[in-house]
Structure 1
């Protein structure tokens, strides 16, 4: 597991904190969840734009917002457009300039490379194969990116479903990182 403090900026450390917070929030709802999308905004900017927000935040968050330029608040997006898959959903999303970043939570089934060699070509057969394979791993990915450049990913497996077993790194899921970046352009 990589530590964001070993990297380049307060922005990346704040993003890593926000991604971990989102992952814990999503984990509290359990497994087999739909895709969830979050806007990330600097808490200080959100407070300046919406002064009444002060009543909804904890004292610790207010102190962090006052002392950390990059402290982030996540805002879950509801009423997402219907889409056949994550790629199509992300292609339909764009963000206003007030949004500093975006995060997404998604669950996937992964197999070791050796098992993928036997994956049937027929989509329905492939799904049945994935769901029945003894080496399958269910994973939850929370991936976040900032307009300023940094990215952070958190990964939890169903087999090791505890907060102290969540892995993380800047580019664990590079394709999803790039897809999220595209929503900010």
Structure 2
């Protein structure tokens, strides 16, 4: 996938660098990647590092974000297993201190023609797609903030290295939209 490495180092005043959401997303994606493949979905609350330092002084040494205005990802453990991710996300609400959310999820990608003439049985269709010779395993990490800022990172199993992760706002627009809805207070 030949994409350049993601530079998350602080920039000089002349050169704008990645924003706090991208830095948090990259850190979170690399954290998830260290766990290998075939993981269940993993959900993270994004909280201002300074707020976390103030409220949880015992965690201060563990926080890797250098600046207090950046975000720290806090994994939400015990995510219930589901076959309907949209439904699960539709039931999630966050307290005000959570300024953003990130979700890592693995998917298979096949060429559009592979989806034609699939069996009607869900399990048979899944088995057919899993056996497709052009199948690609990918992991998406979608992240968004309450202010509408969004980003998505994509890692392929075939090119599994930190310098081959694609980044873009619209890599998974449905997923980032569903995540953003968990942050909207009046959506409930």
Report TM bin, short chain.
0.7 to 0.9
Q: CA deviation at 1:104?
A: 0.3
The aligned residue for residue 47 of structure 1 is 53
* 1:101 partner SS: strand
* 2:67 partner SS: helix
The aligned residue for residue 29 of structure 1 is 35
CA distance in 2, matches of 1:141, 1:83: 17
The aligned residue for residue 140 of structure 1 is 139
The runs of 5 or more residues in structure 2 that have no matched partner are 9-15
Q: CA deviation at 1:142?
A: 0.3
Q: CA deviation at 1:82?
A: 4.1
The size of the alignment, in residue pairs, is 174
Q: What are the superposed Cα offsets for residues 61-120 of structure 1, whole Å, 9 maximum, x if unpaired?
A: 3x422xxx3x11000001223433211221221100010000000000111112222322
Written as runs of structure 1 = structure 2, the 5 A alignment for 1:11-22 is 13-22=19-28
Change in 2 beyond 3 A, CA 1:23/1:35? same
- Highest relative contact order (Cα 8 Å, sep 6+), 1 or 2? 1
TM-score, normalization by structure 2: 0.84
More helix by share: 1
Written as runs of structure 1 = structure 2, the 5 A alignment for 1:1-185 is 13-58=19-64, 61=65, 63-65=66-68, 69=69, 71-185=70-184
The aligned residue for residue 13 of structure 2 is none
CA distance in 1, matches of 2:62, 2:30: 19
Q: What are the superposed Cα offsets for residues 6-43 of structure 1, whole Å, 9 maximum, x if unpaired?
A: xxxx8x71111111111111111110000000000111
CA distance in 2, matches of 1:26, 1:112: 26
TM-score, normalization by structure 1: 0.86
Q: Is the 8 A contact 2:45 2:75 kept in 1?
A: yes
- Superposition RMSD in Å: 2.2
CA distance in 2, matches of 1:96, 1:4: 31
